[in-house]
Amino acid sequence: MALCAASISHNNTSRILSSSKSNTFYQKKISASPHFSLLSLTPPLPSLSRSGFGSHWRRREPCSLHGHVSCSVKAVLLDESKEKLLLPKGDTWSVHKFGGTCVGSSERIQNVAQVIVQDSSEGKLVVVSAMSKVTDMMYDLINKAQARDDSYVSAVDAVFEKHKLTAMDLLDGDDLASFLSRLHHDINNLKAMLRAIYIAGHATESFSDFIVGHGELWSAQMLSYVVRKNGLDCEWMDTREVLIVNPSGSNQVDPDFAESEKRLEEWFSRHPSKTIVATGFIASTQQNIPTTLKRDGSDFSAAIMGSLLRARQVTIWTDVDGVYSADPRKVSEAVILRTLSYQEAWEMSYFGANVLHPRTIMPVMRYDIPIMIRNVFNLSAPGTMICRPAENEDGQKLESSVRGFATIDNVALVNVEGTGMAGVPGTASAIFGAVKDVGANVIVISQASSEHSVCFAVPEKEVAAVAEALKSRFSEALNAGRLSQVAIIPNCSILAAVGQKMASTYGVSATLFNALAKANINVRAIAQGCSEYNVTVVIKREDCIRALRAVHSRFYLSKTTIAMGIIGPGLIGATLLDQLRDQAAVLKEDFNIDLRVMGITGSRTMLLNDVGIDLSRWKELVKDKGEVADLEKFRQHVHENHFFPNTVLVDCTADSNVASCYHDWLRRGIHVITPNKKANSGPLDQYLKLRALQRQSYTHYFYEATVGAGLPIISTLRGLLETGDKIQRIEGIFSGTLSYIFNNFKGMRAFSNVVEEAKQAGYTEPDPRDDLSGTDVARKVIILARESGLKLDLSDIPVQNLVPEPLRACASAEEFMQQLPQFDNEMARARQEAEDAGDVLRYVGVVDAVSREGRVELRRYKKDHPFAQLSGSDNIIAFTTTRYKEQPLIVRGPGAGAQVTAGGIFSDILRLASYLGAPS
């Protein structure tokens, strides 16, 4: 073991020894253990290098190739047989681990060296990963060679080039020459090994582990040179000399702490440095065969080192500010967790938060060593501290119950089902025995208490073998019908909610499942650890990100964050946007409702944004950043391309094409809110389909503003019906325009004159015939009739058209207005007749629930009737019901205009928020 290390650093050793005399950090003791055992190793690999893996395993190689290496080793061995430096353990040490991205380029390696220099700890052990992507490149070399793909040669050259260029940027003089010569050497060895793999068409595990670990060897050496250049004495450690592990099956290894500690002490006695740069990821077996801690294992290396040194702290440096409440690549609103308990961190990493390797926790937990997760690119961020949880005075945990969420993709569910399983001891053991035999890793297990089925998740790539093993293990039970099936459900993901004692806090699971239900996500299986640190659900893979966002926002954002898409920014839509702009902050602050307008689309242009459009300048943004409108793309953007679980599309158009999309939107879990009457007054079968869908799902469809603008008409009607009242009749003045016209058609005024006045005042459609025809009122009648349970179509409603027959064909509104006075007499006569009887004329819509019909007509009302008392453009609606029989229930107020209509839509949006759980 001493061979290589000595050869690389014996010069430094003497320097450090002399420089450290003056402090107590190093103590000397007489060595009791000469290193002869290493000299008797059998070389497992035909290595040639002195700096790479091979150098340590070539004890029986003739020393002709590396005569000087052997010589220097002898010298050190002689030295060490006399005295040995005692490794000081404890708080003086801080351990750092720098991930691949931290050392991804020469600049970054420089930066890391600075961080190391700036740490004022007395002893520093720095574990380093391979430069980013290098481990992948190394695995790729093996795959290529095994597949006899000649391009492995150029791929090795690329690895060489990458490290050569990095070293040339960082080093110079002797340092550069010596690093490059080692690199060269290693690469030549690798080429030889890969050639052997190429010929054999196969690589053994130890061959592979030997090859892939080179990334760490190179990065550690380069970094140690740079740290030294920055003025700090430093040694590099090939951790295969120190970390001893035992394979434990399922592609895992278990550290042998006692042996590793012994070897660390020995290593230190030969390299008594205050700053050590150690390779992450790699280790050796008891037999000194190179191995690795498996993918992403450098975190584990650092934790083991931390525990061997009883360090004060282990800092894992990476490219994010700490552990987030969910993978920040998937949930942009994830928040940094300032502290996590060891168990929480373990659960998060086990369930896929790859910011930390799951096995990192155990070694440090033994000695209560905190782990800090820090961002090397943002030193100002304090990071996440993983430690024993703090308790407040009452002994209660300070943190909230759910801390974070993580997901594992590419899993499959296996469901073993059958009545013959109940009460039969050993079934579960037989199932999992069979699974173990094929080496598959069971991620979660769920068993119904009836014992009717056992269901568990395994990595997708292992499921075929598992199914095969189970079918053969249980073939008898399957044939006999005691087991009905071994079913595989592919394409699943696991979503875990993690938090100290979360499962024992009331309502947490309910909230979790509620959030999933509201996002229309079907839960395939559920598991809750008895440790109560996690609740795990298995869902369809395609739902995974949506589920993650849904649950995350439910616990972390406002309960009711709603992504909105506004369709039709005309008069009403624009007014709604203004109202939203003015009210958004209050809603968020006081009611925990977070409304985000993710898109605005007109018929020609649309504006999309990923986090929410700035409503104070949306018009400007539409002009500057608008793109060609495309309703499908718009829908996708608002619903899928964001991090919020609830989506609502608000249709402020009067377009039947837009209305025809509601069904599809609702089916996709998108809530719909609209003042557009087209869907509810369109073809009956489509309406019924829409309502049926609305009732089956948790998706909401609100349309209060279709009748009477902001007046509570639909909601009043619903309230009556839902509380068991029976509607007999709904009668009302539903058109603000016609209300205005007949409220002012009095005295001697000509009808055409009042219409003209209404038009001038902006109360009519551009062509007043659209109001006078009564179709709009008929649509409202249909909406109310259908809401009351009548199955009527527009064609079933007789409508009195106030546009004189001859004028219906007029080509323009102007022509119509010009000719209208010719018909004033007719209207004047009707008014006179009413007047003579003490009545007034009102244009009303009627739903007669008893005779199951509706109509729209000009009617006469006594002057003291509420309908005769109206002013301006007010609407009035009278509900006659079983409860409100003598005196109808009357709703009255302004029933038209952009402000009140937008207000009606807005209150539907808030109703949606409260249905989704906003506080009242």
Residues in the site for ligand ADP, rule: CB under 6 A? Answer: 99-101, 129, 296, 318-320, 323-324, 326-329, 353-355, 404
Residue with tokens 């979660």: 444
List CB contacts of 778: < 8 A, sequence separation 6 or more. 681, 794, 797, 799, 845, 854, 856
Residue closer to ligand ADP by CB (options 334, 469) is 334
- Residues 61 to 120 in contact with ligand ASP, rule: CB under 6 A: 99-100
218 binds, among ligand ASP, ligand ADP, Mg ion, none (CB under 5 to 8 A by kind): none
Q: Are 581 and 615 in contact (CB under 8 A)?
A: yes
Residue with tokens 């966002």: 549
List CB contacts of 448: < 8 A, sequence separation 6 or more. 455
Distance separating alpha carbons of residues 6 and 75, to the nearest angstrom: 9
Q: What is the smallest separation between the CB atom of 456 and ligand ADP, expressed in angstroms?
A: 24
Answer yes or no whether residue 333 interacts with ligand ASP by CB under 6 A: no
Distances from the Cα of 889 to the Cα of 79, 839, 881, 886, angstroms: 104, 22, 8, 10
Residue closer to ligand ADP by CB (options 360, 447) is 360
Answer yes or no whether residue 774 interacts with ligand ASP by CB under 6 A: no
Which of the ranges 93-101, 172-180, 494-502, 736-744 carries the binding residues for Mg ion, by CB under 5 A? 93-101
Residue closer to ligand ASP by CB (options 293, 440) is 293
Residue closer to ligand ADP by CB (options 146, 553) is 553
Please, where are the H alpha helices in 626-675?
Answer: 631-640, 656-659, 662-667
- What does R_g of the chain's alpha carbons equal in angstroms? 38
Q: Are 490 and 474 in contact (CB under 8 A)?
A: no
Residue closer to Mg ion by CB (options 99, 845) is 99
Q: Are 239 and 69 in contact (CB under 8 A)?
A: no
Picking from 201, 195, 190, the residue whose alpha carbon sits closest to that of residue 156 is: 190
Q: What is the smallest separation between the CB atom of 669 and Mg ion, expressed in angstroms?
A: 35
Number of residues located near ligand ASP, criterion CB under 6 A: 12
- Residues 116 to 145 in contact with ligand ASP, rule: CB under 6 A: 129-130, 135
323 binds, among ligand ADP, ligand ASP, Mg ion, none (CB under 5 to 8 A by kind): ligand ADP
Q: What is the smallest separation between the CB atom of 43 and ligand ASP, expressed in angstroms?
A: 25
Taking residues 543 to 562 in sequence order and writing x for each that binds ligand ASP by CB under 6 A, - otherwise, the string is: --------------------
Residue closer to ligand ADP by CB (options 207, 342) is 342
Supply the residues annotated as catalytic. 780
Answer yes or no whether residue 296 interacts with Mg ion by CB under 5 A: yes
CB atoms within 10 A of CB 489: 17
280 binds, among ligand ASP, ligand ADP, Mg ion, none (CB under 5 to 8 A by kind): ligand ASP
Helix (H, G, I), strand (E, B) or coil at 308: helix
List CB contacts of 603: < 8 A, sequence separation 6 or more. 568, 629, 653, 655
Residue closer to ligand ADP by CB (options 403, 518) is 403
Answer yes or no whether residue 365 interacts with ligand ASP by CB under 6 A: no
Distance separating alpha carbons of residues 762 and 115, to the nearest angstrom: 70
297 binds, among Mg ion, ligand ADP, ligand ASP, none (CB under 5 to 8 A by kind): ligand ASP
Which of the ranges 270-278, 289-297, 478-486, 572-580 carries the binding residues for Mg ion, by CB under 5 A? 289-297
List CB contacts of 584: < 8 A, sequence separation 6 or more. 595, 615
Q: How many CA atoms lie within 13 A of 834 on its CB side?
A: 21
Distance separating alpha carbons of residues 40 and 54, to the nearest angstrom: 15
215 binds, among ligand ADP, Mg ion, ligand ASP, none (CB under 5 to 8 A by kind): ligand ASP
Helix (H, G, I), strand (E, B) or coil at 326: coil
Which of the ranges 292-300, 360-368, 596-604, 757-765 carries the binding residues for Mg ion, by CB under 5 A? 292-300
Q: Are 607 and 600 in contact (CB under 8 A)?
A: yes
Question: 540 has which bridge partners?
Answer: 492
135 binds, among ligand ASP, Mg ion, ligand ADP, none (CB under 5 to 8 A by kind): ligand ASP
Residue closer to ligand ADP by CB (options 101, 288) is 101
- Residues 281 to 300 in contact with ligand ASP, rule: CB under 6 A: 281, 295-298
- Residues 204 to 223 in contact with ligand ASP, rule: CB under 6 A: 215
Question: Could you give phi then psi for residue 197, rounded to 5 degrees?
Answer: -65, -40
With residue 472 as reference, give the H or E element that holds it. helix 463-473
Answer yes or no whether residue 216 interacts with Mg ion by CB under 5 A: no
Q: Are 262 and 31 in contact (CB under 8 A)?
A: no
Contact positions toward Mg ion, by CB under 5 A?
Answer: 99, 296
Contact positions toward ligand ASP, by CB under 6 A?
Answer: 99-100, 129-130, 135, 215, 280-281, 295-298
